[in-house]
Structures are given as C-alpha cells and as structure tokens.
Structure 1
Amino acid sequence: MNSIVKLPCDDRSCGWYAALPEPQPARRLVGEQRADHVVIGAGFAGLAAARRLASHLPHARILLVDAQRVGYGASGRNSGFVIDLPHKFALEHPDPLHKQRLLGLNRAAIDQLQTLIGRHGIECQWSHAGKYQGAVGPRGLAYLEHFESLLADLGEPYRLVERSELASVLGTDHYSRAIFTPGCYLMQPAALVRGLGGSLPENVEVLEESPIQRLEKSSSGWVLQGNDGCIRTPSVLLGTSIFTQEFGFLRNRLLPVMTFASWTRPLSDAEMARVGAQADWGLTPADHAGTTVRMTQDRRLIIRNTYRHVPRYGRSVDDATRARIREDHAKAFRARYPQLAEVPFTHTWGGAYAISRNFTNFFGQLDDGVFATACDNGVGAAWGTISGTLLADLVVGASSTQLDDIRAVTGMPSLNPPEPFLGLGVSTRIRWAAWNSRSEL
C-alpha cells in the first residue's frame, strides 16, 4: 500500500486563476469506478497524456483525476513562458546531440500546443513574443556573456539588445543589456490549462477535487482510493510532478521548491505612456536567482523571484511569509518602475515544482502498470506537454524518434541526503544564491 501523506495545498491568491470566470461545478470521484487507464494530475503532463491515450484508444474509458480544479495547481501558476531553449544547466551539457534532442522535444511541444489552441479556440493570450534574458550589473553581465557563448556553440539565433532599445520595450532603464531569443511563446497559464482540460476527447472523463489518498496493488491491477470513492484500473499514469513521491515512487529523489510571483492591476493608458512600455513581453534573469519580469497582453506587470524549500508544499508557507515575499516583490518593482510606485499588487502566489540534484528528468515505468513523467526542472509547460504525450505512447507500445529522444535525455534523479541535512542544505543554498544575486533582484 502507498499512502498519501501530503496533498496539494495551494494558496487562494493566484492572479492567473482569479482572472478567469468561475468554472462549472466540479465532477468528483464518487463510488466505485472502473477505467482502462487513469491519469493522475491534470497539469500539462496529465492533460497531454490523457489526450494522447484517447487518440490511440478511442473506445477506452480514460479517467483524468486531480486533487484540485483544472488550472489551479502548479501548471496554472507559472510566469506564462513556453520555453524552447533548455535552461542554463542543460545548455552546458557536453553532448551537442543531447541539447538538440531537448530543443526538438520542447519545440514539438510548442507546435502541439499551438495546434490545439487554434483548433479549439482557446483564449489564453498565446503569443510568439520571444524572450529577453536581462542583466542589471557586472554579475548579470558575466552570466549573459556565458549564455551568449552557449547559444553560439549551439548555433541558435539570438540578438544582443542594449539598454536604450531595451528600455523602449520594457519601460525601464534598469537593465544594462539583454539577449533576445525568438523561440519562446507567452500565454496565460491558467487559461491555457483550463482550455486544454475543456477540449479533451469524449472518452476522457475529468474528475476534479478528488484527491487520491492511496494507491494499492490488486490482483487485477491497481485500486485508487479517494475520499468518497475508488477506481479500479490496470494502468496508472502519474503526471503528478513533486507529488509522485507521495505515492511511494521516486522518494528521496525530488526536491520540492516553490517560487513566487506578484502582479499589478492592468495599467492605464496614462501609466503605460508614463513609462513608455509595450505590452506582451517577458524577461528572465541572466543570473538564474534574479528576477523575472513580464508584461501581459492586458498590461499587468508581473514580478517573480524568491525561492523556498517546501517539504510540506503549500503548508510550508504561511501568510506572514507571503506578506514578506510580497514586500520583496514591491521593492524589485519600485527599483524598475519608480514612476509606478503607487500601482498596487493585487495578487501574490506561489507554485511548487520538482527539481533534482543532478538536473535529470524522470520518464518511464515505475511498477507493473504504473508510468510517470516527473521533475521538469523549471521548464514545465513545454516539458510537461511533450513528456505526457510520449508517456502515453510508451504505455500503448507506440514507437517514434521523439520517444527515442526522450528516453535518451532522461534518467533517474539522484538520491538526496536525509533530513534534516537536506532541508538545511537546500535552504542555505537558496539564501546564499539570493545574497550573491542581490544586485540582480
């Protein structure tokens, strides 16, 4: 028996989700159900897996089960980037083929999402806006120079953007320089996730607000025990990210980290003119511990920084901590936009995700009839989409070059030290990174 110890417990102040209309009432797990396949977790990975299973098996009964509402969890809480380029650690991989495989997988995910958005008319502020990676001072500029060398080695297109040109887009001269890469897309993540959930094939049934408390092996497969019902199935696909360890799999191999964002109300015409900013752009920091800044299509400014080790997920962060984080975001906002100092934040939220010490993603089979993709290492929208899709291919025995590629670039996340050493080490490293990167915050 695998018993869930800690369930999702996200804050109620995610701006992306609050901006959406109220959803239809949830359909919950009640009574005993039987299904050919069950997908747990309705984020990017779970949605993609369920959709692909339905495509392969149009007459199968497929249940997609989530502990919360679709779009409410981590997949609806990111900063709205769908990134094609791997993050810095993956770009430093010594094997050029490894990096090309990652690029190909991420770009296949982008193509897949764009097709679905067009086919189903999903309104999610989808935009081929590209992405800036910005530097403030000498530390950031050194990271930016290193990023430029990695892009040149990879043969990827990019453009250096100096302070004055950058200020005409961002509305702030806070940044010294940036590198613009064209392959990134921007979106409203909660809207995209909800739209994907609402456009699934007919043989996928979505059960929300239905946490699975236990996963038990039986003579005929698996029994998934909820609060008010259970599901019997021979096949379970876990799109549960950090919560995979709560089912007894990949324990002591995933690190639960939460990052936080705040956003403003939509800026007025006068405020936009005051700073001279454009709408619809995104900037990530050259120094990975710095600050991400976004302007949405509806002219909200987003500040994202601050990381926490969250062994109890949302329960690790209390209201007082969120208030301090919000003030840190306000300082970063005022440093960039002193002309907008009176513009308030309306929402501050966090989202938990999984990283691994060796920056390795897991993809594959965990037990008889149990498959998982876990640990996106911070590239969740693209990686979740493609890994969930290919996980379904693996389950049904399909073959493809992409499946070969994802097997080649994934592996087993390394073991973590035991507690309390793990928590002390991760927290210390996060604080040390924030201190070193304070000039970029």
Structure 2
Amino acid sequence: MILPRYDRRCGWYEQLDFISDFPEVTTDIRVDVLVIGAGFVGCAAARRMAENRPDTSVMLIDAIKVGQGASGRNSGFVIDQPHKRDLESGDEQLKQKIVGLSRVALEYLETQIDRYGIDCQWSHAGKYQAAVGPRGRKHLDHYEALLKKGNETYRRLDKDEMREVFGTNFYSAAIHTPGGALMQPAALMRGLADHMPDNVQVAERTAVTSIARNKRGFEVRTEKARIQCRQLILGTNIFTAELGYMADRILPIMTFASMTAPLNNSQLKRYGGQLDWGITPADHGGTTLRMTQDKRLIVRNSYRYAHDYNTPQALIPGIAARHRDAFDQRYPQLNDVEFEYTWGGASGLSANFETYFGELEPDVFASCCDQSVGAARGTISGMMLADMACGKKTELLHDMQSVSGNPSRLPPKPLLRIGVPVRLAYERFASRSEV
C-alpha cells in the first residue's frame, strides 16, 4: 500500500512562519463521521457536516501534516470558470452550474478567511490567461469566443498593459477574467484546519491502512489504532484507489513548480511589473506563472505520470533546469534571482475527463478525479458530500450531481506506464512554443 509522504520541498509549506500541531490517533476511538484526507474536499466536508449536525462527532484525519499534500501544493488559484474541457462543452446550462458552484465555494472560503483572520494572501485578483505565439493565440481566441458565448465578463490586454502587469514583453496576448481569487494554499489549508467547529477533531500523521464494514458501520485501521464510525467521507483523490475504491479509474498526473526567493529592491526595479497576479497558459501544455504578494515568482510546467504518487529526488534537478529556462526567457533582466524551492503536486485525471462525486457504496462518500481544478471544485464537492451524507436535498447538490460523471476504466497499469509518458512527451513537444 502506498501512503502519502512529505518531501520537504514545497515552497508554500516551507515558508510558513507558524505550524500548529494536531495529535496522531494512537488509541482506538469511535466517532459518528470520519473524513479521510484534510485537503480542500476533506476540510469543507468536515466543516459542513459539523454545521449540518452540531451534535454529531466528526473526525478529520490526514496521513501527513495538513497543507503538505496536494491541496497545499497547487499554484494558488481559486478559479470560478469551467476548466478547458468543460468550457468547450456545448451545454451552456452545465457551464453556468459549474460557475455557480465555484462561486459558492469562493464565498464559503472567504467567509472563513474573514471570520478567523486566516493570513493566506487571499485576494480577488482574478486570473489571466496568456499566449506566447501563434499556437497559444489560437487557443486564446477560442477561449475568448467561449467567454463571449457564455456572457462572461473579461478584458483583453494590449502589449503595454501586459508589460505593466507582468513585467515582461514575452507574451503576445492575454485575457483577464475577474471572478477568481489568489491565495497561499498551504497557509489557507492550515488556517482552515486550525479553526474547525467544536465538534470536529483533527488528527495528523494518521495514515489509513484498511477499511472494513461491520455491524456498527466501519472499522478503519491506522498504523496505531482503530477508528469506528458510521459514515465515511473520502477526500483522498489519487489515494482513493489505495483504500479499495475507484481502482483503475484515477490517473495520477504530477505537475511541477519552482519558487524564487523574494525579489529585493534592485530586482523589483528591474522587474517593473505588479505584485499579486497569476497566469494560466492558453495552451494547456504551456507554463503557469505567479507573482505573489510577498514578491516571489513561481513557474509551473512539466508533467509526469505519478504511478508511485510521489516525486523521485532524481527528477528535481532536470525539472528545475526547465523552469529556469522558462523563467529566463520571460525575465532575462532577473538572471540573478535564485529558485529556493522546486516541488511536484499530483492531481487525479480520468480517461474521459469526468469527475467523480457521490456515494461509492452505502455510507461511503467521495469526490475524486479533480481534473486539476481542486480548490473551488474540491471545496464545493466537500460541502455537497456532507449534505448528501446528511440526506439534505438542495438545488446545489442537484447541480453538483449534474456536473459530475462516471470516470471510465483505464488500461492496465503496465500499458499506462508506457503510454502515458509517450503521450505527455508528445504534448510537451506540441506545446514547446508556449512553454
């Protein structure tokens, strides 16, 4: 059984000033609801369950420290728009449901950030999508046409505006959509876990090794104890298969990021752009770029089939070199800026691009195959899993079910280990002008 582990490389987590500590489960315990995985899905599910049923005992556990997993490793976007595949769907009602659900998630997160004073660089900065060359501009033009069709607000930037915001002339075209937010993901995850309702217990470093059904519900074994519960909510995404569910349906793909040291005054002057923005590439194989509120630039590209769910150390130098090349192309004036961190973060894809949401079997609820849009999608999924587990039938839950599907079965793993790297290499070659 493969368990999550932390590699001490994630820049978001490593720069946290203060990290609280939740105990490991070391003695047998009984709770009403057990939520496994303290990422966006798990944190939202535990909170919502506690809000729905204040007299219910809820336990939220994670195999590592909260914020060290995939939810604390993303690029810090909370996106309200449908992802590329959903955006291209001809079903306008489906797209409006996705937007509506994502905006509920944004509001839910912001309410907690404001209430508890969570310091996570949260801002309504929106999102830029940018193109480098003809291939990227073709994708961007298509994106603009889809935004127009959906009556979504956006703004196309001219060359001077791009230079003023991004501090580089590298991009040939960009579009800004105002609805999303930016944040520091590891800080957000820690803040959410630190301020759970009174009827939620949080436990870290508590890896699940098996799940068995019995007359009283479920017996969940960890490395040191047993947890008895009536209902299970799984926010385990790529590790869901390790717990015996969704086997051969979740494709774990890892993408990599590098983060610079904070720019000093001289470097900021040479940079010449603004703080607090984020670019996603018009071509999905291109490079994501972030400038944080604390003056760090982040480059994300390069993909790997994460069959082992983790990042081999031997890959890091080569990936960092790719990031350095992408950075130097954009910012030749900043060749003295050093990368402090390089890390990988995995997301769950499916062969037919469908996300899963629902009841896997009686009293076992899960959301997985996030298709690389985990923050908003994970938050609303966790909320709605809790509603489903409580028997609440709402319009939001109906919408959540209608935008979810059934991930198709994947080929056998030996074929995946050959085919997926070949496909990723092809995509990297096709998108090389946009990286």
Q: Specify the TM-score bucket, using the shorter chain as the normaliser.
A: over 0.9
SS at structure 2 position matched to 1:433: helix
Within a 5 Å distance, the mapping from 1:417-428 to structure 2 comes to 417-428=411-422
Counterpart among 237, 243, 247 of residue 243 in structure 2: 247
> Counterpart of 1:264?
260
Asked if the contact 1:284/1:293 (under 8 Å) is kept, the reply is: yes
Give the CA deviation at 1:420.
Answer: 1.5
Question: How far has the Cα of 1:21 moved from its partner?
Answer: 2.3
What secondary structure does 1:31 align onto?
Answer: coil
2:56 matched residue in structure 1: 60
Identity of aligned residues (%): 50
Deviations 1:360-389 (A, max 9, x none): 111111112211111111110000100100
Provide the rounded CA distance (Å) in 2 between the counterparts of 1:214 and 1:420.
Answer: 25
CA deviations 1:145-199 (Å, max 9, x no partner) are 1111111111111111122210111100000010111111000000001000011
CA distance in 2, matches of 1:423, 1:167: 42
> What's the CA shift for 1:22?
4.1
**Residue matched to 1:13:** 9
Question: Does 2:105 match 1:109?
Answer: yes
Q: Distance in 2 between matches of 1:407 and 1:25?
A: 35
Aligned position for 2:298: 302
Deviations, residues 216-268 of structure 1 (Å, cap 9, x unaligned): 11121111101111101111100111111111111111100111100111111
Equivalent residues of 1:9, 1:313 under 8 A apart: no
Counterpart Cα distance in 2 of 1:280 and 1:171: 12
Aligned partner (choices 191, 199, 222) of residue 203 of structure 1: 199
SS at match of 2:257: strand
**SS of the residue aligned with 1:89?**
helix
1:402 to 393, 396, 401: 396
Which position in structure 2 is the counterpart of 1:223? 219
1:217 aligns to what SS in structure 2? strand
Q: How many angstroms apart in 2 are the aligned matches of 1:67 and 1:12?
A: 15
Q: Is the 8 A contact 2:19 2:190 kept in 1?
A: no
Structure 1 position 322, deviation (Å): 0.9
Match of 1:335 in 2: 329
The CA distance in 2 between the partners of 1:351 and 1:22, in whole Å, is 22
Q: Offset at 1:88?
A: 1.0
Which residue number corresponds to residue 164 of structure 2? Answer: 168
- Distance in 2 of aligned mates of 1:10 and 1:313: 11
Contact 1:11 1:350 in 2 (8 A): no
What runs of 5+ residues in structure 1 fail to find an aligned partner?
none
1:235 paired residue number? 231
Q: Which runs of 4+ in 1 moved over 4 A?
A: none
Which of the numbers 338, 349, 355 marks the counterpart of 1:344? 338
SS in 2 for 1:13: coil
TM-score, normalised with respect to structure 2: 0.99
Within 5 Å, give how 1:38-437 maps onto structure 2.
Answer: 38-314=34-310, 317-437=311-431
**Counterpart amino acid of 2:353?**
F
Is the CA contact (8 Å cut-off) linking 1:10 and 1:350 kept in structure 2? no
Query: C-alpha distance in 1, partners of 2:85/2:6?
Result: 28
State the distance in 2 between where 1:239 and 1:25 align. 20
The count of residues paired between Structure 1 and Structure 2 equals 435
Q: TM-score, normalised by structure 1?
A: 0.97
Whether the aligned pair in 1 keeps the contact of 2:66 and 2:190 (CA below 8 Å) is yes
Extract unaligned runs of 5+ from structure 2. none
**Partner Cα separation in structure 1 for residue 6 and residue 284 of structure 2:** 24
What is the alpha-carbon root mean square deviation over aligned residues? 0.9
SS of match in other structure, 1:214:
strand
